[in-house]
Chain A
């Protein structure tokens, strides 16, 4: 649907520009008359242009804001331990992640070495790290409190970039030097009343079904901003988690890339490597795993479509009204032109041309003003409340330099709506009965 609209709009824009160019070459005086007619009532034309420009600027700014929000949410999702590409043991996803310790990768080191041996993957990748997922009960016996947790064994150094947006709110990140130190999500920390340097006890069930326990010191408390995650997450050094669960395996291998746009290319290469080496693994991109991200994106896209529709309707009415007033005011003038022998099509084209010209001026003003407003907003950003499911707000910016569609839409909206709005007035002007038009007061 949106693709069809895109092409229809492109055809209308091309047609409009052709009309202007042809008129400019064949009858340049018509362009001059168009401008003179448009600015016969300067105040009315200025109000119309203002309405078009405000609409265009609103769409430009909101589009840039949505683009930034999508970008920020995407990178936040990726850098909250999801990564760009995840590699699992075959069958892990089919089992709905419910038996994560039964579907582990046995030879993590050799798989990592295979990936790093590929020059394309190495060039595109920031970090490759293994993680071991498990769950259990964490307690502070002194205070008589305990809670369930979703644990993840991570490599302290390679996971720094992967969890770059998990802010430490007290203490430090995990350390390779102190393997018995762990970090807690802010929710877990609150539930246990356990802060920096305090000791906790972890109770887990290993892959064979046996129980194991260990004491660990809290090294830091982190907050990702995602409440559900912060309420259950506990990070432990990978070697410690493997020791606790009596395994050498990892649940998944995560690749964080230099650039999100390279995800598909690297994913294809990883899949090819898995096939070449007959590895019992499966690779998935962040796009397949980030369900929440897609839900938020769909919500925003729905809102954006609604706003675009409202703005388009307002612009159509404003331009339509201006041109209709022009037709009414110039009824006798049109009758004179018709009496002099000008065709209906020619009269109609004059009004269409007025619509196109006002649309072009509106497009230029929309993009120009939009850029100025965006630059002003981007000096300090706009504080926003938390998104659905998040616990902290963020600073929003207008991202206008990475999406050509934003410019296209800000130009297309005034131009196409102006063209559509000029159809009825032009038909009315063209179909005036000459004798009646002369009697019009």
Chain B
């Protein structure tokens, strides 16, 4: 029978909001790119996950982009994000069948984008960012843990370290690894001002894009798009 429990994993996605300051930061950086870059435009549309119309528009924009340029892994990654957000929306509307289909397709797109270009640590980071914050029932914490282990090499900018630590903590909690989670929380606490806002996010929704992520993950990926 149709089971709501595994689908709950996407419910939170529709409810996650983005703080106003972070939205403004995202606007400031992506708006100049958005005119020529469909992925940047779609990302801006996906800011408010409760706006179904904008979400649907963003997903169809990314789909068109992928038809025109199937090798665009960044577009594929955010296409996956968009489908998961839409799945959350269908979940709220109690259309569990469509929600299940979209969540499968969303994760598939995210996995494919990350695995087609395994040397691209930024794509791996984006996959880990999605998987670390989804509910434990989704079983995605194991994928997040693997990706976060791969991201331990010092190739990533230092600005991402607090968020990576938060992702480690949350993925460990989802995977029922309390010791590993406690280590990550401690590390985050000792980071001072950089870790303090993230330390508060012990459960629930994922945080909005930080300025470090916008500058060191989103911008390089969007600017490097084919």
What A residues does B101 contact at CB under 8 A? Answer: 160-161, 164
> Smallest CB–CB gap between A354 and chain B, Å?
43
Contact with A along B35-52 (1 / 0, CB 8 A): 000000000000000000
How far, in angstroms, from A165 to B143 measured CA to CA in the complex?
A: 20
Q: Is the CB of B139 within 8 A of A221?
A: yes
How far, in angstroms, from A326 to B62 measured CA to CA in the complex?
A: 73
Q: Could you say which of A360-368, A392-400, A426-434 contacts chain B?
A: A392-400
Asked whether any CB of chain B lies closer than 8 Å to the CB of A225, the reply is: yes
Contact of A397 among B94, B104, B138 (CB under 8 A): B94
Q: Is the CB of B1 within 8 A of A390?
A: yes
> Smallest CB–CB gap between A425 and chain B, Å?
46
Q: Could you say which of B3-11, B22-30, B194-202, B216-224 contacts chain A?
A: B3-11
How far, in angstroms, from A69 to B3 measured CA to CA in the complex?
A: 12
> Smallest CB–CB gap between B165 and chain A, Å?
22
Within 8 A of B (CB), among A87-115: none
Q: Is the CB of B146 within 8 A of A197?
A: yes
Q: Could you say which of A142-150, A174-182, A262-270, A412-420 contacts chain B?
A: A174-182
What B residues does A394 contact at CB under 8 A? Answer: 1-4
Q: Is the CB of A220 within 8 A of B108?
A: no
What B residues does A221 contact at CB under 8 A? Answer: 139
What A residues does B146 contact at CB under 8 A? Answer: 196-197
Say yes or no: A72-B1 contact (C-beta < 8 A), given A160-B104, A161-B101, A161-B104: yes
Q: Is the CB of B1 within 8 A of A73?
A: yes
Q: Is the CB of B2 within 8 A of A76?
A: yes
Q: Is the CB of B105 within 8 A of A170?
A: no
> Smallest CB–CB gap between B144 and chain A, Å?
11
Q: Is the CB of A197 within 8 A of B104?
A: no
Q: Is the CB of A387 within 8 A of B6?
A: no
Asked whether any CB of chain A lies closer than 8 Å to the CB of B15, the reply is: no
Q: Which of B101, B139, B146 has the most CB of A within 10 A?
A: B139
What A residues does B3 contact at CB under 8 A? Answer: 165, 167, 225, 392-395
Contact of B100 among A69, A165, A177 (CB under 8 A): A165
How far, in angstroms, from A160 to B106 measured CA to CA in the complex?
A: 10
Name the interface size band of chain B.
20 to 34
Q: Is the CB of B111 within 8 A of A196?
A: no
Say yes or no: A176-B112 contact (C-beta < 8 A), given A79-B97, A164-B97: yes
> Smallest CB–CB gap between A376 and chain B, Å?
14
> Smallest CB–CB gap between A159 and chain B, Å?
9
Q: Is the CB of A395 within 8 A of B2?
A: yes
Name the interface size band of chain A.
35 or more
How far, in angstroms, from A394 to B6 measured CA to CA in the complex?
A: 11
Asked whether any CB of chain B lies closer than 8 Å to the CB of A156, the reply is: yes
What B residues does A220 contact at CB under 8 A? Answer: 139
Contact of A172 among B97, B100, B111 (CB under 8 A): B111
> Smallest CB–CB gap between A395 and chain B, Å?
4
Asked whether any CB of chain A lies closer than 8 Å to the CB of B85, the reply is: no
21 A-B pairs within 8 Å (CB atoms) are namely A75-B97, A157-B108, A160-B108, A161-B101, A161-B104, A163-B104, A164-B101, A165-B100, A169-B137, A171-B140, A172-B111, A172-B143, A173-B104, A175-B108, A175-B111, A175-B112, A177-B116, A178-B115, A225-B1, A386-B1, A387-B1
How far, in angstroms, from A394 to B3 measured CA to CA in the complex?
A: 5
With CB as the reference atom, state the residue of chain B lying closest to A159: B104
What B residues does A167 contact at CB under 8 A? Answer: 3, 6, 100
What B residues does A395 contact at CB under 8 A? Answer: 2-4
Q: Is the CB of A75 within 8 A of B2?
A: yes
Q: Which 5 A-B pairs have the closest CB atoms?
A: A394-B1, A167-B6, A170-B139, A196-B142, A72-B2
Asked whether any CB of chain B lies closer than 8 Å to the CB of A168, the reply is: yes
What A residues does B94 contact at CB under 8 A? Answer: 378, 381, 397
What B residues does A392 contact at CB under 8 A? Answer: 3, 5
Asked whether any CB of chain B lies closer than 8 Å to the CB of A195, the reply is: yes
Asked whether any CB of chain A lies closer than 8 Å to the CB of B79, the reply is: no
How far, in angstroms, from A155 to B101 measured CA to CA in the complex?
A: 16
Contact with A along B74-100 (1 / 0, CB 8 A): 000000000000000000001001001
What A residues does B104 contact at CB under 8 A? Answer: 160-161, 163-164, 173
> Smallest CB–CB gap between A71 and chain B, Å?
9
> Smallest CB–CB gap between B137 and chain A, Å?
8
Q: Which of A156, A165, A387 has the most CB of B within 10 A?
A: A165
Q: Is the CB of B100 within 8 A of A175?
A: no
What B residues does A195 contact at CB under 8 A? Answer: 142
With CB as the reference atom, state the residue of chain A lying closest to B100: A164
> Smallest CB–CB gap between B110 and chain A, Å?
9
